Amino acid sequence: MKDILETAKCSIDNAKVKSIMPQNERTSALQKYKNPVLVMAAEKDCLFPAAGVLRRAKTVWQQSRCYLLRDRGHIHELTEKEKKMIIEALR
């Protein structure tokens, strides 16, 4: 547990995280990707709040399937339904 906390602290202390993903690439470049996209974002995620993430995904990828993980934060357990969504998206 101590290692996990130290790793998380180093990540937070030494990284510049932009809260609305994906941000590190131009919209025009991302829009060239035409394959299906599944975006799952947590409503109460303090690092990547779902409202911004899902809004950005919808503007970048018309073909995206966006899913809100209600009442969950940054680290959470997925339901069986959500796990199946990911498996289907990968097929």
pLDDT tens, residue by residue, 67-79? 999 999 988 889 9
Give pLDDT, residue 70. Answer: 96
Evaluate the omega torsion of the peptide bond into residue 49 and state whether it is cis, within 30 degrees of 0. Answer: no
Tokens 């959500």 belong to residue:
82
Distance CA 52, CA 45 (A): 11
Q: If you ran DSSP here, which 8-state letter would residue 56 be given?
A: H
Q: How many domains does the chain have?
A: 1
Domain that holds residue 37: 2-90
% of the chain exceeding 90 in pLDDT: 58
Is 9's pLDDT higher than 90? no
Residue with the bigger pLDDT between 16 and 75: it is 75
Give the global pTM. Answer: 0.74
Amino acid code (one letter) for 27: T
